[in-house]
A and B are shown apart, each in its own frame.
Chain A
Amino acid sequence: MDIKITEQADNLLKDNGVRKEEILDIIKNSESSGQKLKSKDGNTCIAKGASENLTIYAVYSASELLDVYTHKMNILGITGGEIKPVEYDDASDWICAKCGEVALERNVDMSYLGVTRPGPGLVCAKCGEMYVSAGMAKSTLKTAEAILEEKRA
């Protein structure tokens, strides 16, 4: 799989402090293990990887890296400990590529600098793999991290 990294994507990598080789490794690992989210139309994937205290996500098509985002929070697990039925439609637009299950929008507990709170995640009910969406990571989590880091700023 030959993924092109445009100048724009390269800037995103720099903004997030992620190296090119790192992101390509994450995509390669996901492709070989099948551990990734796939859009319903099958055109876009999200791969997840970790480097020291940072969770890194790659959003990509068959040919190109589309987006990169990260969070420093540590995902602890499903809020409440198990996936219980809910009344609302919790189906997301993503499918767990490994299990073929639709990923569910569920709260997951995330922890950073001693503070733990729930936040929306994308969860596969079968394998239990947990992801965070780009919107959530780029807005809410980034701001919360900045607030918690203010003491060190």
Chain B
Amino acid sequence: MEPISTVESLCPECLGKIGGIKYAENGQVYIKKECPDHGSFTTLISEDIGHYRQMEECFEVNRSRARASLTDVEKGCPFDCGLCPSHKQDTCLAVVEVTDRCDMGCAYCFASSSMDKSLDPDMETIRFMFETVKKCQNEPTCIQISGGEPTMRDDLPEIIRMGKEVGINHIELNTNGRRIASDQDYFDKIASAGIDAIYLGFDGVSDDIYMKRTGKKLFDIKSEVINRCEKAGIGVVLVPLVAKNYNLHEVGRIIEFAGSRVPTVRGVHFQPVFYSGRAPSGREGRITILELLREIEKQTRGQLKVENFTPSLMPHAHCGATCLTVIDSNGFLPLTNVSLGALKSASDVASKTKKSIMGRWRGSEKDAQKSSCGDLLIKSSCCEKPLSQLTVKGSCCEKPITDILPKNSRLGGGWADFIEMSRNSYLTISTMAFQDVWSYEKERVENCCIHVVTRDGRFVPFCNYNMTDCDGKFLYRNAT
């Protein structure tokens, strides 16, 4: 056993603060922690200490804190969320839950949704939540409308419009897609209210998968959502929950499907199952980031390799991994690789992540005219601009780069095609490992940039908000 560091964690039984160690054994990384009352708990964190360390070496961000903290430090992390002054990271995505209701009844559900309409926040409360984001988050402001299933609300279009009125820059909608696929009129209203992207629950490309989780055949519904978004010029991110004995065998086909639907589909965001809220008993479904990446490598027949995934510009080296890939006629052409070394961060993590959310996950090309943060962001020495706004310094004049690119070179320049392909055939594949009470590390959550907005106007890091003890009792959700 080779010790790596000490960790501050929580007891899965009583949610009390307990200490532990992170260590390597037989090349694998574990956290072992001990509660004086409930004994010791050991959790596998990574199958390969080499990969674990490589992700740390590759991770380098500058941080900026929130504009103002809203609570004081009393009991210490994670009990003072709001954010408290010891939180090290500003919000990059604020999650606003507009209902607890859901029409799906999934076997897995970190929110443990129910069906009581009277518990929905009213419009004034939601306005207050939006205004809180506008006040506390650094610009630009990004919100995800979530739940429950937000489309359970008939007034969702008005909620979106209100968010835009308050001045929120980017609003994406987390949805299972059922109402969008069946109610065109409702979708049109959401689209015209100004929704920027759809964050679509998408666990697989076969109905077997959906039957397992929901007892419903949903694949055609998911496809129809993408069709409708394509027509409306709204970008879609596919969001699969991933678990062993569930859909892990289908991750390659999900990526292939996503590739076939670019540019409407902007990315796939895999979320390994975490044991907060409602989940089947036992924890056999758990997978680590590395296990998922190895499956992706195997199932894409090596087109996307483990080494193509670099640490996401997120809270912490072990919270997520991202691969940017271009798709051409021969398949995937990944642009990222850990061997290229640490990211050179010119701006802080929250603003980078926001740019990524806004730039990549927004709409397709049709959308580019009406938005200054349209499509692919090209980084030049001093600024980030979409390709269509990038100018080239010539000896006598500056022109948009798209004007001087050879249009139909008789030589059929492959590099010109490459650029065209990069603009239209670009996929972001990412994964985020949310923490549950078993894997919890205070160091990770202190740096979290995804925050749920409570109805009384506080920000709670996502993993803390959904944290439950081993009996499903929440630390924050429903307690606020």
Partner of B343, one of A115, A118, A142, A152: A152
Which A residues, 137 to 153, have Cβ-Cβ distances below 8 Å to chain B? 138-144, 146-153
CA distance A40 to B401 in the complex (A): 29
* Residue of chain A at shortest CB distance from B409: A120
Contact B415 A110 (CB under 8 A): yes
CA distance A147 to B405 in the complex (A): 15
Given contacts A144-B419, A146-B378, A152-B343, contact A67 B413 (CB under 8 A): no
Q: Which residues of chain B are within 8 angstroms of A152 by Cβ–Cβ distance?
A: 340-341, 343-344
Residues of B at the A interface (CB closer than 8 Å) are: 310, 324, 333, 335-337, 340-341, 343-344, 346, 376-380, 387, 390, 392-395, 401, 404-406, 409-419, 422
Contact A151 B310 (CB under 8 A): yes
A74 within 8 A of B: no
CA distance A143 to B400 in the complex (A): 12
Partner of B415, one of A67, A106, A117, A150: A117
Q: Which residues of chain A are within 8 angstroms of B411 by Cβ–Cβ distance?
A: 105-107, 118-120
A-B contact pairs, 27 of them (CB 8 A): A8-B395, A12-B395, A107-B414, A113-B340, A115-B333, A117-B414, A118-B413, A118-B414, A119-B413, A140-B405, A140-B415, A140-B419, A142-B392, A143-B390, A143-B405, A144-B415, A144-B422, A146-B380, A147-B376, A147-B378, A149-B379, A150-B335, A150-B379, A151-B343, A152-B340, A152-B344, A153-B346
Looking at B376, B411, B412, the one whose CB has the most chain A CB atoms below 10 A away is B411
CA distance A149 to B410 in the complex (A): 27
Contact with B along A85-116 (1 / 0, CB 8 A): 00010000000000000000111001001110
A135 within 8 A of B: yes
Contact A143 B419 (CB under 8 A): yes
CA distance A90 to B411 in the complex (A): 10
* Residue of chain B at shortest CB distance from A73: B415
CA distance A120 to B411 in the complex (A): 6
How many whole Å from A60's CB to the nearest CB in chain B? 13
A7 within 8 A of B: no
Q: Which residues of chain A are within 8 angstroms of B343 by Cβ–Cβ distance?
A: 151-152
Q: Which residues of chain B are within 8 angstroms of A136 by Cβ–Cβ distance?
A: 406, 413
Contact A151 B336 (CB under 8 A): yes
CA distance A107 to B337 in the complex (A): 28
How many whole Å from A110's CB to the nearest CB in chain B? 7
A52 within 8 A of B: no
Q: A117-B418, A146-B380, A149-B379 are in contact. List 6 more A-B contacts (CB 8 A).
A: A110-B415, A140-B406, A142-B392, A143-B390, A143-B419, A153-B379
Partner of B416, one of A138, A140, A142: A140
Given contacts A105-B411, A150-B335, A152-B343, contact A138 B419 (CB under 8 A): no
CA distance A93 to B416 in the complex (A): 22
CA distance A105 to B413 in the complex (A): 11
* Residue of chain A at shortest CB distance from B378: A146
Q: State the 6 A-B residue pairs at the shortest beta-carbon distance, nearest first.
A: A117-B414, A153-B379, A118-B414, A119-B415, A120-B411, A151-B336
How many whole Å from A55's CB to the nearest CB in chain B? 15
Q: Which residues of chain B are within 8 angstroms of A141 by Cβ–Cβ distance?
A: 415
Contact A139 B405 (CB under 8 A): yes
Partner of A138, one of B333, B394, B414, B417: B394
Contact B335 A148 (CB under 8 A): yes
Q: Which residues of chain A are within 8 angstroms of B414 by Cβ–Cβ distance?
A: 107, 117-119
Partner of A151, one of B340, B377, B392, B413: B340
Q: Which residues of chain B are within 8 angstroms of A2 by Cβ–Cβ distance?
A: none
Partner of A139, one of B324, B341, B392: B392
How many whole Å from A26's CB to the nearest CB in chain B? 18
How many whole Å from B388's CB to the nearest CB in chain A? 11
How many whole Å from B357's CB to the nearest CB in chain A? 16
Contact A107 B335 (CB under 8 A): no
Given contacts A144-B419, A150-B324, A151-B310, contact A139 B404 (CB under 8 A): yes
Partner of B412, one of A107, A113, A151, A153: A107
Contact A144 B379 (CB under 8 A): no
A15 within 8 A of B: yes
* Residue of chain A at shortest CB distance from B403: A139
CA distance A143 to B377 in the complex (A): 11
How many whole Å from B311's CB to the nearest CB in chain A? 12
Contact A143 B378 (CB under 8 A): yes
* Residue of chain A at shortest CB distance from B393: A15
How many whole Å from B95's CB to the nearest CB in chain A? 27
Partner of B413, one of A107, A113, A147, A150: A107
Q: Which residues of chain B are within 8 angstroms of A153 by Cβ–Cβ distance?
A: 344, 346, 379
Contact A138 B380 (CB under 8 A): no
Contact A143 B401 (CB under 8 A): yes
Contact with B along A17-48 (1 / 0, CB 8 A): 00000000000000000000000000000000
Contact A147 B422 (CB under 8 A): yes
Q: Which residues of chain B are within 8 angstroms of A139 by Cβ–Cβ distance?
A: 392, 401, 404-406
Q: Which residues of chain A are within 8 angstroms of B324 by Cβ–Cβ distance?
A: 150-151
CA distance A75 to B108 in the complex (A): 53
How many whole Å from B384's CB to the nearest CB in chain A? 8
Q: Which residues of chain B are within 8 angstroms of A119 by Cβ–Cβ distance?
A: 411, 413-416
